[in-house]
């Protein structure tokens, strides 16, 4: 909530927009309650057979409420979505800026990155499906209670009570119980995911070794466990729905009972009895979606908590690679270097090596000793724990999982150098022997590139950016041997007169290097 | 939350390029009740109803519950209207302008309230039952789909059009969206049929004019909604596409952040992101203005017709044409006739998410059933080699085999023929991308070649090691025993030694996806797996690049182990040491059509 409040303050006219949306939503809901109330009075008054002109005002009101409900609802949706989307945009920008400030290379946070994208969207849910229905519902309940209270305060009190039950207690109960069921289903869900993942990854081996039947049985087992937990959740959800139906009954019966007593006692005009009885019926229709809203609230809160965690995490490292100027003789040297993530235990120390122009040095070591951390340190993305890194010249890094952005090939190459011309791009593509049309759309919404092509694209970014010192991270990983060999040939050709540091555990790559530095 | 699958299979987008359900970033409109989606493929996907008898049973139960709910609603209206009118008449009031004392015959409230309590209790019970029933139906359909999708995946093991992460998403979060379909939409759809019908008949028995008003407006709702949908379809679809593109921009940037940072461009992109976000919001609001129109039509028609009914009967009560009890009965029932129809619109979104997920599941299932990737067909072209005539000695016979992948412009491989005698080591070599692996996959039975025939022994006689062998979560021994579940501890350890991993602890844990094992170690475990298979009686090895990543010494040792088994082997390799060891070398693919420069 404080997150929403902060975003609302930041968005221009945020509070005004949200207030307007709540008001419109309340008007829409109140229209349908008022439609029923005025209609009930109209019929009752009509039963006294008065001159027709006594009824015209009520008739006009009834028609007006008949129209206004739809119109208010339409406007409410537009205003509500507009502010919801504004907050979503603001949160996206916040999240992006925060993430951009902290160095992400070499941190196993791929999961976090993909999840935060989905989590941010929860803010729209929170506004449109939780905040607006609950706040507007509150207004309508209070307004209706006050109006009914004018005629019969016991009936109004009963109405308020039933509204709290249907609009507050039942949704709260449902959200709480289903949150508990959700928590209980997490392990079962995880197991199902594991089985599916394993089946998908090992499908050829399972089929070749005739283990596919057993694998499907494992799937069925995991599925059955999850289904059993879900069944319990459905039971409680049903309970909440039933409570709401009962609460509506309580309100109607109370209206009829107290209304009749008042009419008998002569304290209430008999034309008002229908109003007292039928208004609760219309009011309780408003609560239909409250259960769902409460569940959305639970889920959105969890998602936004994760976003908040991302936003409040302190920045690590420099984020962006600092700009560096080209030099005549590029060189890379580390002196008695200790590496590690800021705030974490050092991963390796006592590193000391130099890579001169045209030299190729392999950096090897078991996984987890901090090879990518060393790369991040050498690049200047994070500070060394101790010792020095001396880099002379523009440094370029080729990741093993180069991201291909969902745009043209040409724009993707320009990531390496914003100022590159079309000719520069074409030239770079030719140099790395990537034979694709620069105008072709690639990435998620375009055609896919093969593993080898992706890495060549990454290499072309280094070429166009005129990188003088090359740092390669597992250049042959996930490539078939033929593709890897061809790629390495071309990288080596590119780096003929440049210092080249290659992180690898592939003996084929090591054998191409002049020297080996052992890490860990 | 839902990610619409609007781009699936359109405009050259590969199916796996479409983000899987809940992978996020793209549903700015998603979580709201926008009834008019660009691709409304009818209220229900018929394939969803064909899945399992659970749905049929549910439909029957749902209709029954719907009818009972409607009958209780009518009863409730009847009891309420009588009671109110009874009290009204009993109390003193006016007639025209003169006061009248009232009949004084107060209705017995005790009985009325007991009846109402029973009615509301019954409605509550039915609502509860409906939730349980809907959950049952959803759970059984979900289980069925999960099994079918994975069976389809196993039926075409090489089909990686849907990534494993995509499958996980689809089968967990994705299919959960079906709950919305079954728990909200379908019940509501059934109520929308049963309730207006029963309520309409009830109104008809009470008052013809009101029944006509309801009967005239109710069908107008779907008609107008469709009209609005049709007239705005093209515009909505166009906006939707733009909106989707812009929505994914954020996800793309975040996923590429490490790359951007390495080039020092991450912070600068924030400016571009702000622009895209503004454009995205404008597009989305444009879409919503149109798609909320049909909801507006629905609300207007529904509420306005209730208002018209109320006013009409009001004036007829004045003129003594109907009595108060009947009028109230009609007033209570009129909104009830519209309520389920309105709720269908509200829950349409739940349905759309569920149907999108189901659609994706069906695509996977039907993709595997398509003839060109149907691996299960492969055994049909197999025959025990020993039954063959002249070449009775051949264990494997490949005759003029060619294969074209679905959607590929040309064949991956053509005209490959060779035989393998028992005990023979045949090496398939050739340029990268030349089709060696395709031929090997045809031998394993992962694909059936589009031309020519392949004869191989049945699967239990085959030991296979792929290029990137799959590892099960468990121990090294578990993974080796995939080859032969009955292999002894000594057998496993021995196989590991022969596979070039003598020091490897069989009890060592292998994480998800082979975590903790290097690529070379994985290959050795898979080789050990094949060796225990041989020990269990298999007599044909099919190996794809078994020595990749090994140094010369390890390569030599592995080749010796393979030879020592004495069984026939078909090996894909381009390593000189392997070629030297071969009894026969088959060169596949004359020209390189993939990455150039294979050694």
Rounded to whole angstroms, the Cα distance separating A136 from A130 reads 10
Residue listed under structure tokens 């009947």: B326
Query: Is residue B392 predicted with pLDDT exceeding 60?
Result: no
Query: Is residue B386 predicted with pLDDT exceeding 50?
Result: no
Q: Closest residue of A to B314, CA-based?
A: A43
* Residues within 8 A of B (CB atoms), A 7-46 only: 31-32, 35-36, 39-40, 42-44, 46
How big is the A-B interface in CB pairs under 8 Å? 520
DSSP assigned state of A408:
B
Rounded to whole angstroms, the Cα distance separating A289 from B67 reads 22
* Interface check A485 vs B, CB under 8 A: yes
Please name the residues in contact with A297: beta carbons below 8 A apart, sequence gap of 6 or more: A126, A130, A175
Rounded to whole angstroms, the Cα distance separating B455 from B80 reads 80
Token couple for B393: 């000695």
> Residue B491 — very low, low, confident or very high, per pLDDT cuts 50/70/90?
very high
> Which one, of A395, A393, A387, A437, lies nearest residue A412 by Cα?
A437
- The pLDDT assigned to B169 comes to 78
Whichever domain contains A257, its CATH number is: 1.20.1560.10
- The pLDDT assigned to B186 comes to 80
Query: Is residue A369 predicted with pLDDT exceeding 80?
Result: no
CB contact under 8 A, A241 and B284: no
Smallest Cβ–Cβ distance between B168 and the set A196, A210, A224 belongs to: A196
* Interface check B394 vs A, CB under 8 A: no
- CB-CB neighbours of A12 under 10 Å: 7
Token couple for A169: 């207690």
Rounded to whole angstroms, the Cα distance separating A403 from A411 reads 13
> Residue B125 — very low, low, confident or very high, per pLDDT cuts 50/70/90?
very high
CB contact under 8 A, A256 and B83: yes
User: Does one domain contain both A211 and A240?
Assistant: yes
CA end-to-end span of chain A:
47
Query: Which of B17, B164, B258 is the mutation pick for testing A, counting most A CBs within 10 A?
Result: B258
Rounded to an integer, the average pLDDT of B37-65 is 67
User: Does one domain contain both A247 and A213?
Assistant: yes
Q: Which of A85-89, B33-37, B393-397, B553-557 has the lowest mean pLDDT?
A: B33-37
> Residue A111 — very low, low, confident or very high, per pLDDT cuts 50/70/90?
low
- The pLDDT assigned to B224 comes to 82
Rounded to whole angstroms, the Cα distance separating B522 from B520 reads 5
- The pLDDT assigned to A381 comes to 87
User: Does one domain contain both A375 and A303?
Assistant: no
- For residue A154, count CB atoms less than 10 angstroms from its CB and return exposed for 0-12, middle for 13-18, buried for 19 or more: middle
Q: Closest residue of A to B107, CA-based?
A: A260
Rounded to whole angstroms, the Cα distance separating A396 from A253 reads 77
> Residue A446 — very low, low, confident or very high, per pLDDT cuts 50/70/90?
low
A486-495, B185-194, B523-532 — which one is most confidently predicted on average?
B523-532
User: Does one domain contain both A150 and A181?
Assistant: yes
Rounded to whole angstroms, the Cα distance separating B581 from B599 reads 18
Whichever domain contains A343, its CATH number is: 3.40.50.300
- A470 within some domain: yes
Query: Is residue A320 predicted with pLDDT exceeding 60?
Result: yes
- A191 within some domain: yes
- Choose the final residue of a domain: A312, A340, A375: A312
Residue listed under structure tokens 């309340």: A26
Token couple for A353: 């090596």
Query: Is residue B345 predicted with pLDDT exceeding 60?
Result: yes
User: Per 3-state DSSP, what percentage of chain A is helix, strand, and coil (rounded to 5)?
Assistant: 65, 10, 25
- A326 within some domain: no
Q: Closest residue of B to A242, CA-based?
A: B124
- A319 within some domain: no
User: Does one domain contain both A353 and A307?
Assistant: no
User: Does one domain contain both A437 and A499?
Assistant: yes
Q: Which residue has the higher pLDDT, A410 or A343?
A: A410
Rounded to whole angstroms, the Cα distance separating B400 from B453 reads 7
Please name the residues in contact with A186: beta carbons below 8 A apart, sequence gap of 6 or more: none
Whole-Å CA distances, B128 to A236, A245, B125, B189: 9, 10, 5, 17
Structural domains in chain A (count): 2
* Interface check A230 vs B, CB under 8 A: yes
H-only helix segments in A315-434: 371-379, 409-414, 422-431
- Choose the final residue of a domain: A267, A284, A312: A312
Query: Is residue B80 predicted with pLDDT exceeding 90?
Result: yes
- The pLDDT assigned to B541 comes to 92
**Helix, strand or coil for residue A92?**
helix
* Residues within 8 A of A (CB atoms), B 74-113 only: 80, 83-85, 87-88, 91-97, 102, 106, 109, 112-113
- A318 within some domain: no
> Residue B12 — very low, low, confident or very high, per pLDDT cuts 50/70/90?
very low
The string of pLDDT tens digits covering residues A114-130 is 677 778 888 888 999 89
CB contact under 8 A, A215 and B150: yes
CA triplet B207, B212, B214: central angle to 5 degrees?
100
* Interface check B230 vs A, CB under 8 A: no
- A165 within some domain: yes
Rounded to an integer, the average pLDDT of B421-425 is 91
Beta-bridged to residue B465, according to DSSP, are B543
- A484 within some domain: yes
Query: Is residue A1 predicted with pLDDT exceeding 70?
Result: no
User: Does one domain contain both A274 and A337?
Assistant: no
Judging by DSSP bridges, how do beta strands A395-398 and A469-473 pair with one another?
A: parallel
The string of pLDDT tens digits covering residues A285-314 is 888 878 878 888 888 888 888 888 888 888
- For residue B372, count CB atoms less than 10 angstroms from its CB and return exposed for 0-12, middle for 13-18, buried for 19 or more: middle
- Choose the final residue of a domain: A263, A278, A312: A312
Token couple for B404: 């074209």
- The pLDDT assigned to A366 comes to 66
User: Does one domain contain both A306 and A335?
Assistant: no
Is the alpha carbon torsion for B118, B120, B121, B123 positive or negative?
positive
Q: Which of A78-87, A143-152, B177-186 has the lowest mean pLDDT?
A: B177-186
Tell me the pTM: 0.78
Token couple for B383: 């025959």
* Interface check B349 vs A, CB under 8 A: no
Whole-Å CA distances, B506 to B51, B456, B529, B550: 43, 32, 12, 21
Domain that holds residue A512: 331-518
The string of pLDDT tens digits covering residues A335-353 is 999 988 877 788 888 889 9
Token couple for A232: 């319990």
DSSP assigned state of B181:
I
User: Does one domain contain both A93 and A27?
Assistant: yes
The string of pLDDT tens digits covering residues A131-187 is 999 999 999 999 999 999 999 999 999 999 999 999 999 988 888 887 887 788 888
Where on the phi/psi map is residue B42: left (φ > 0), alpha (ψ -120 to 50), or beta?
left
- A324 within some domain: no
> Which one, of A279, A425, A235, A158, lies nearest residue B127 by Cα?
A235
User: Does one domain contain both A86 and A216?
Assistant: yes
b/e code A280-310 from CB counts within 10 Å (16+ = b)? bbbbbbbbbbbbbbbbbbbbbbebbebbeeb
Whole-Å CA distances, A123 to A440, B174, B377, B523: 35, 21, 49, 46
Rounded to whole angstroms, the Cα distance separating A257 from B80 reads 11
- The pLDDT assigned to B381 comes to 42
User: Does one domain contain both A236 and A350?
Assistant: no
Token couple for A464: 């166009």
Token couple for A205: 């081996």
DSSP assigned state of A225:
H
User: Does one domain contain both A222 and A341?
Assistant: no
Residues of B in contact with A256 (CB under 8 A): 80, 83-84, 109, 112-113, 116
The string of pLDDT tens digits covering residues B83-105 is 999 999 999 988 888 888 888 88
Query: Is residue A385 predicted with pLDDT exceeding 50?
Result: yes
B457/chain A closest Cα distance in angstroms:
12
**Helix, strand or coil for residue B162?**
coil
* Interface check B31 vs A, CB under 8 A: yes
**Helix, strand or coil for residue A387?**
strand
- CB-CB neighbours of A176 under 10 Å: 15
Query: Is residue B28 predicted with pLDDT exceeding 50?
Result: no
Rounded to an integer, the average pLDDT of B15-27 is 28
CB B257 within 8 A of CB A91: no
Rounded to whole angstroms, the Cα distance separating B56 from B111 reads 40
Query: Is residue B238 predicted with pLDDT exceeding 70?
Result: yes
A506/chain B closest Cα distance in angstroms:
6
Beta-bridged to residue A270, according to DSSP, are none
- The pLDDT assigned to A243 comes to 93
Query: Is residue B16 predicted with pLDDT exceeding 70?
Result: no
Percentage of the residues of chain A whose pLDDT score is greater than 70:
96
- What string of DSSP letters covers A412-440? HHHTT-TT--HHHHHHHHHHTT--S-TT-
């Amino acid at each position: 909530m404080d997150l929403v409040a902060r975003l609302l303050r930041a968005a221009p006219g945020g509070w005004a927009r949200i207030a307007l949306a709540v008001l419109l939503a309340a008007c829409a809901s109140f229209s349908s309650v008022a439609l029923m109330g005025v209609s009930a009075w109209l019929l009752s008054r009509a039963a006294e057979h008065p001159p027709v002109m006594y009824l015209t005002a009520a008739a006009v009101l009834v028609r007006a409420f008949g129209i206004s409900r739809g119109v208010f609802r339409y406007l409410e949706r537009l205003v509500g979505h507009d502010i919801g989307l504004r907050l979503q945009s603001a949160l996206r920008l916040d999240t992006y800026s925060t993430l951009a400030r902290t160095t992400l290379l070499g941190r196993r946070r791929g999961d976090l990155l993909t999840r935060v994208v989905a989590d941010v969207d929860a803010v729209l849910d929170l506004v449109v499906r939780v905040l607006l229905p609950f706040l507007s519902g509150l207004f309508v309940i209070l307004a209706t209670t006050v109006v009914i209270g004018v005629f019969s305060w016991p009936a109004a009190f009963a109405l308020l009570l039933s509204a709290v039950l249907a609009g507050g207690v039942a949704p709260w109960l449902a959200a709480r119980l289903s949150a508990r069921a959700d928590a209980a289903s997490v392990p079962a869900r995880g197991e199902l995911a594991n089985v599916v993942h394993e089946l998908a990854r090992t499908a050829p081996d399972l089929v070749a070794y005739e283990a596919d039947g057993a694998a499907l049985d494992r799937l069925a087992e995991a599925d059955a466990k999850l289904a059993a937990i879900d069944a319990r959740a459905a039971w409680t959800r049903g309970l909440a729905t039933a409570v709401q139906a009962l609460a509506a009954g309580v309100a109607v019966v109370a209206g009829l009972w107290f209304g009749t007593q008042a009419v008998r006692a002569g304290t209430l005009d008999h034309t008002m009895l229908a109003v007292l009885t039928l208004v609760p019926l219309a009011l309780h229709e408003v609560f239909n979606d409250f259960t769902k809203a409460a569940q959305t609230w639970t889920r959105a809160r969890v998602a936004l908590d994760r976003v908040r965690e991302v936003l409040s995490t302190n920045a690590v490292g420099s984020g962006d690679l600092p700009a560096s100027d080209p030099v005549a003789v590029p060189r890379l040297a580390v002196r008695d270097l200790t590496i590690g993530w800021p705030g974490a235990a050092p991963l390796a120390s006592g590193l000391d090596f130099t890579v001169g122009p045209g030299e190729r040095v392999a950096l090897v070591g078991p996984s987890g000793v901090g090879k990518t951390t060393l790369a991040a340190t050498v690049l200047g993305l994070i500070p060394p724990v101790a010792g020095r890194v001396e880099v002379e010249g523009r440094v370029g890094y080729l990741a093993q999982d180069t991201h291909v952005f969902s745009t043209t090939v040409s724009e993707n190459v320009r990531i390496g150098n914003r100022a590159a011309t079309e000719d520069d791009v074409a030239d770079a593509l030719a140099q790395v022997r990537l034979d694709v049309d620069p105008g072709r759309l690639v990435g998620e919404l375009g055609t896919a590139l093969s593993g080898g092509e992706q890495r060549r694209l990454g290499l072309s970014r280094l070429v166009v950016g005129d990188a003088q010192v090359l740092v390669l991270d597992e250049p042959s990983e996930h490539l078939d041997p033929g593709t890897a060999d061809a790629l390495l040939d071309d990288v080596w050709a590119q780096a003929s007169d440049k210092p080249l540091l290659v992180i690898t555990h592939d003996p084929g790559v090591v054998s191409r290097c002049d020297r080996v530095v052992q890490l860990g | 939350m839902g990610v619409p699958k609007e781009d699936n299979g359109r405009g050259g987008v590969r199916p796996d390029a479409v983000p899987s359900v809940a992978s996020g970033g793209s549903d700015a409109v998603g979580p709201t009740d926008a009834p008019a989606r660009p691709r409304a493929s009818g209220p229900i996907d018929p394939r969803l109803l064909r899945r399992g008898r659970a749905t049929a049973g549910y439909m029957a139960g749902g209709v029954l519950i719907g009818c009972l709910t409607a009958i209780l609603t009518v009863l409730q209206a009847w009891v309420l209207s009588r009671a109110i009118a009874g009290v009204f008449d009993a109390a003193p009031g006016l007639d025209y302008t003169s006061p009248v004392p009232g009949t004084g015959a107060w209705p017995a409230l005790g009985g009325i309230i007991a009846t109402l309590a029973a009615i509301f209790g019954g409605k509550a019970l039915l609502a509860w039952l409906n939730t349980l029933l809907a959950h049952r139906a959803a759970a059984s359909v979900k289980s069925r789909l999960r099994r079918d999708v994975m069976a389809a995946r196993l039926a075409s093991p090489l089909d990686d059009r849907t990534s494993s992460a995509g499958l996980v998403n689809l089968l967990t979060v994705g299919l959960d969206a079906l709950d919305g379909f079954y728990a909200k939409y379908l019940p509501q759809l059934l109520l929308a049929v049963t309730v207006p019908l029963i309520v309409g008949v009830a109104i008809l028995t009470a008052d013809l004019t009101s029944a006509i008003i309801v009967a005239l407006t109710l069908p107008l709702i779907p008609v107008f909604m469709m009209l609005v949908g049709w007239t705005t379809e093209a515009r909505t679809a166009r906006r939707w596409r733009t909106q989707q593109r812009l929505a994914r921009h954020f996800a793309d940037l975040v996923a590429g952040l490490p790359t951007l940072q390495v080039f020092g461009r991450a912070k600068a992109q924030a400016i571009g992101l702000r622009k895209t976000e503004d454009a995205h919001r404008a597009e989305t609001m444009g879409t919503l203005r149109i798609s909320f129109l049909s909801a507006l039509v629905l609300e207007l028609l529904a509420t306005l017709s209730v208002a018209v009914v109320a006013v009409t009967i009001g004036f007829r009560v004045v003129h003594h044409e109907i009595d108060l009890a009947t009028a109230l009965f009609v007033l209570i029932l009129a909104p009830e006739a519209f309520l389920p129809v309105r709720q269908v619109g509200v829950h349409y979104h739940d349905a759309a998410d569920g149907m999108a997920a189901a659609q994706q599941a069906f695509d996977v299932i039907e993709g595997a059933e398509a003839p060109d990737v149907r691996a299960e067909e492969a055994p049909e072209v197999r025959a025990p080699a020993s039954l063959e005539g002249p070449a009775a000695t051949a264990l494997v016979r490949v005759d003029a085999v060619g294969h074209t992948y679905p959607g590929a412009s040309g064949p991956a491989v053509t005209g490959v023929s060779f035989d393998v005698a028992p005990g023979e080591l045949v090496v398939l070599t050739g340029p990268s991308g030349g089709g060696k692996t395709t031929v090997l996959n045809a031998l394993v039975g992962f694909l059936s070649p589009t031309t020519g025939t392949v004869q191989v022994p049945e699967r239990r006689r085959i030991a296979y090691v792929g290029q990137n062998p799959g590892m099960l979560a468990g121990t090294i021994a578990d993974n080796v025993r995939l080859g032969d579940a009955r292999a002894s501890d000594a057998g496993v350890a021995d196989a590991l030694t022969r596979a070039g991993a003598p020091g490897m602890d069989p009890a060592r844990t292998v994480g998800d996806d082979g975590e903790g094992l290097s690529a070379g170690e994985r290959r050795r475990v898979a080789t050990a797996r094949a060796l225990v298979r041989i020990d269990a009686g298999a007599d044909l090895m099919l190996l794809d690049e078994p020595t990749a990543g090994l140094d010369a010494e390890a390569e030599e040792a592995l080749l010796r182990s393979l030879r020592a088994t004495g069984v026939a082997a078909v090996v894909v390799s381009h390593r000189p040491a392997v070629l030297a060891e071969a009894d026969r070398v088959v060169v596949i693919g004359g020209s390189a059509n993939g990455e150039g420069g294979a050694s």
